[in-house]
Structure 1
Amino acid sequence: MQNQDEIILIKIGKKIQEIRLAKNLTQKDIAFALDVEISQITRIERGKINTSILNILKIIDALDVSKEEFFAELEI
């Protein structure tokens, strides 16, 4: 059974992936915007790592969505 932290990380990762795919962006595009390895974006999208809030904000910016839009339907 997953704990609450794991569930939140998975929900955030899925939201990032959902928006990224809807905007036809690759993980490479997001990684480039954050100056990180693609594997880090993969782990974030899978909910495998707890990235910083600063990285989440950079991802939201790279996805070109507002913070309100990103968090509105996240249900965390």
Structure 2
Amino acid sequence: MDKNPEIRHNCLIIITAPIAPLNMVLQSNDSDELRNFGNNLRRIRKEKDLSMEALANLAEIELSQIFRIETGKINPKLTTILTIARALGINPKELF
């Protein structure tokens, strides 16, 4: 027993129910968005009858980077998106 009634004890509650960590939820949603972006890029590139290599040359971007963007493996920087849109002759909004 505590000698001083003013002392309070902190209590730790542990939740054992399975809960997905927030970062996993965000990563899942982000990867869906990246795949959608890549699919849009691929569709537009093909509509313009360009190979990945041709787009890479026009945009002065590595071919492997175009591949990784189209497959949703990487999150391109805004400057890369703008460069690709210019190379395709489109408004960047069309990629989203």
The reply on whether 1:47 has 2:68 as its aligned counterpart is no
Greater RCO, CA 8 A, separation 6+:
1
Question: What code does the residue aligned with 1:28 have?
Answer: E
2:3 match = none
Deviation at 1:23, TM superposition (A): 0.7
Considering only aligned residues, what root-mean-square deviation do their CA atoms show, in Å? 1.8
TM superposition score normalised by structure 2: 0.66
Unaligned runs of 5+ in 2: 1-24
CA positional deviation for 1:18:
0.1
State, as a whole percentage, how many aligned pairs show the same letter.
Answer: 35
> Which residue number corresponds to residue 30 of structure 2?
5
Counterpart of 1:58 in structure 2 is 83
Q: Which runs of 5+ in 1 are unaligned?
A: none
More helix by share: 1
Task: Tell me the TM-score normalized by structure 1.
Answer: 0.81
Question: Which residues in structure 2 correspond to 1:30-41 (within 5 Å)?
Answer: 30-41=55-66
State the aligned residue count.
71
SS of the residue 1:56 aligns to: helix
How many Å separate the matches in 1 of 2:74 and 2:92? 20
CA contact (8 A) 2:68 2:74 kept: yes
Dislocated runs of 4+, deviation >6 Å: none
